[in-house]
Structure 1
Amino acid sequence: IDGVNFNMRIARDIETVPILAAIGVTKAGHRLVLGLQSGDKESASNWREFFKDLKVRGLDPQNVTLGIMDGLPGLEAVFKQEFPSAKVQRCQVHVARNVLAKVPKKLKGEVADDLRSIFYASSRKKAMEFFEQFKKKWKDTIPSAVSCLERSINACLTFFSFPEEEWISLRTTNIIERLNKEFKRRTKPMEIIAGETACYRLLAFISLRMELHWRSNPIGKVRNNLPFLKELAYEKFTQKS
Structure 2
Amino acid sequence: MAKIKRDPKSVELANRIIEEYQPESVEDMQNALKDIFGPMFESMLKGEMNHHLGYKSNDKGEKESSNRRNGYGKKLLHTSSGEVEIATPRDRDGSFEPQLIPKRQRDVSAIEDKVISMYARGMSQRDISLTIEDIYGFSVSHDMVSDITDSVIPELEEWQTRPLSNCYAFLFVDCMFTTIRNEYETKKYAVYTILGYTMQGKKDVLGLWLNETESKHKWMQIFDEIKARGVEDIFFISMDGVSGLEEGARAIFPEVTVQRCMVHLIRNSIKYVPSKDYKAFTASLKKVYGAQSLKACQSAFESFKQQWSAYPGAINVWIRNFNHVEQLFEYGSAIRRIMYTTNAVESIHSSFRKVTKKGAFPNDTALFKVLYLRVKELEKKWEGGHIQNWSMVMNQLLIHEGLEERVHKYI
TM range (shorter): 0.7 to 0.9
Q: How does 1:40-119 map to 2 (within 5 A)?
A: 40-60=212-232, 63-119=233-289
Give the letter for the 1:26 counterpart.
Answer: T
Query: 1:219 corresponds to which residue?
Result: 387
Query: 1:32 corresponds to which residue?
Result: 204
Query: 2:370 corresponds to which residue?
Result: 202
Query: 1:21 corresponds to which residue?
Result: 193
- CA deviations 1:24-54 (Å, max 9, x no partner) are 1112221111121112453211211121122
Is the CA contact 1:88–1:158 (under 8 Å) kept in the aligned structure 2? no
40 and 173 in structure 1: CA distance in 2 versus 1, 3 angstrom threshold: farther
2 CA distance for matches of 1:130 and 1:4? 33
- CA deviations 1:155-181 (Å, max 9, x no partner) are 135444444334333221111111011
Q: Does 1:177 align with 2:351?
A: no
Q: How does 1:180-195 map to 2 (within 5 A)?
A: 180-189=349-358, 191-195=359-363
Is the CA contact 1:165–1:223 (under 8 Å) kept in the aligned structure 2? no
Q: Secondary structure at the match of 2:295?
A: helix
Deviation at 1:149, TM superposition (A): 0.5
Q: Could you list the runs of 5+ residues in structure 2 that have no partner in the other structure?
A: 1-172, 393-411
Give the letter for the 2:322 counterpart.
Answer: I
Is the CA contact 1:31–1:214 (under 8 Å) kept in the aligned structure 2? yes
Question: Which of 307, 323, 340 lines up with 1:154 in the alignment?
Answer: 323
Q: Secondary structure at the match of 1:29?
A: coil
Q: Could you list the runs of 5+ residues in structure 1 that have no partner in the other structure?
A: 225-241
6 and 109 in structure 1: CA distance in 2 versus 1, 3 angstrom threshold: closer
Query: 2:11 corresponds to which residue?
Result: none
Deviation at 1:87, TM superposition (A): 0.8
166 and 211 in structure 1: CA distance in 2 versus 1, 3 angstrom threshold: farther
Tell me how large the CA RMSD over aligned residues is: 2.3
Q: Does 1:10 align with 2:182?
A: yes
* Count of matched residue pairs: 220
2 CA distance for matches of 1:59 and 1:3? 21
| Bigger relative contact order, structure 1 or 2 (CA pairs below 8 A, ≥6 apart) | 1
2 CA distance for matches of 1:207 and 1:217? 16
Give the letter for the 2:325 counterpart.
Answer: C
- CA deviations 1:76-107 (Å, max 9, x no partner) are 22222222211111111111122222234454
2 CA distance for matches of 1:136 and 1:4? 36
Q: Pick the structure with greater CA Rg.
A: 2
137 and 187 in structure 1: CA distance in 2 versus 1, 3 angstrom threshold: closer
Give the letter for the 1:128 counterpart.
Answer: Q
Is the CA contact 2:181–2:360 (under 8 Å) kept in the aligned structure 1? yes
Deviation at 1:12, TM superposition (A): 4.6
Q: Secondary structure at the match of 2:255?
A: coil
TM-score under structure 1 length normalisation: 0.80
Query: Which structure has the highest helix share of the two?
Result: 1
Deviation at 1:13, TM superposition (A): 3.7
Deviation at 1:71, TM superposition (A): 1.3
2 CA distance for matches of 1:158 and 1:207? 32
109 and 41 in structure 1: CA distance in 2 versus 1, 3 angstrom threshold: same
Is the CA contact 1:29–1:221 (under 8 Å) kept in the aligned structure 2? no
Is the CA contact 2:237–2:339 (under 8 Å) kept in the aligned structure 1? no
Query: 1:238 corresponds to which residue?
Result: none
Give the letter for the 2:337 counterpart.
Answer: I
Question: Which of 299, 302, 327 lines up with 1:129 in the alignment?
Answer: 299
Q: Percent identity?
A: 28
Give the letter for the 1:112 counterpart.
Answer: T
